[in-house]
Structure 1
Amino acid sequence: MTRARIILAATAALLTAGLSACNEEGSTGASGGTAIDNPAPETTQSQATEESEPATSETGNPSETGAETSTPAPDEPPSVQLCKVADLAVTVQYVDSAAGTVHQALRFTNSGNRTCEIQGFPGVSYVGGEDGHQIGKPAGRSGSKGPAVPLAPGAQAWAPLAAPRPENYDEATCQPQEARGLRVYPPQEYDSVFVPLTITACSNTDAPGNFLTVRTIQQGTPS
Structure 2
Amino acid sequence: MTKLLMILLLSTGPLTVVGGPAQAAAPECTNAKLVASYRSTDGGMSHEYGRIVLRNVSDAACSIRGYGGLSYVGGGDGTQVGAAATRTAGPVRRIVVRPGQRVVSEVAATDVAPYPRRRCRPEHVDGFWVYLPDETRAQFVAHPTTGCRNHRVHLLAHRAYVRP
TM-score bracket for the superposition, by shorter chain length = 0.7 to 0.9
Count residues in correspondence: 149
User: Which of 100, 124, 129 is the equivalent residue of 1:178?
Assistant: 124
Residue aligned with 1:182, SS:
strand
Deviation of 1:146 after TM superposition, in Å, equals 1.6
**Secondary structure at the residue paired with 1:102?**
strand
2:75 — aligned with what? Answer: 129
1:213 is the counterpart of 2:160: no
Q: Percent identity?
A: 27
Paired residues of 1:121 and 1:145 also in contact (CA < 8 A): no
Larger radius of gyration: 1
Gaps of 5+ in 2: 1-8, 10-14, 16-20
Q: d(CA) in 2 for partners of 1:145 and 1:172?
A: 37
Looking at structure 2, the residues matched to 172 and 83 of structure 1 have their Cα atoms a distance apart, in angstroms, of: 41
**Structure 1 segments unaligned to the other structure (5+ residues):** 1-70
Letter in 2 for 1:155: Q
Q: CA RMSD in A?
A: 2.3
Task: Answer 1 or 2: which has greater strand percent.
Answer: 2
SS state at 1:172 partner: helix
User: Partners in 2 of 1:211 and 1:191 — Cα distance?
Assistant: 22
Of the candidates 136, 139, 160, which is equivalent to residue 190 of structure 1? 136
Q: Which runs of 4+ in 1 moved over 3 A?
A: none
Of 24, 32, 50, the match for 1:104: 50
**Counterpart-to-counterpart distance in 1, 2:152 and 2:44:** 25
**Match status 1:152 vs 2:98:** yes
Give the 3-state SS of the residue equivalent to 2:113 in structure 1.
Answer: helix
**1:165 and 2:111 correspond:** yes
| Distance in 1, Cα, partners of 2:155 & 2:104 | 20
Name whichever structure is richer in helix by fraction: 1
Cα drift, residue 89 of structure 1: 1.2
The SS at the match of 2:58 is coil
Higher mean C-alpha deviation, range 157-166 or range 141-150: 141-150
Matched to 1:163, the amino acid is A
Alignment of 1:1-223 (within 5 A): 79-207=25-153, 210-220=154-164
User: Could you list the per-position Cα deviations for residues 108-162 of structure 1 after superposition, in whole angstroms to 9, with x for gaps in the alignment?
Assistant: 0000000111111020111111321110011111113421111110001100111
TM-score normalized with structure 1 length: 0.62
- Structure 1: which amino acid aligns with 2:107? L
- Opposite residue 139 of structure 1, the aligned amino acid is A
Q: Which amino acid aligns with 1:137?
A: A
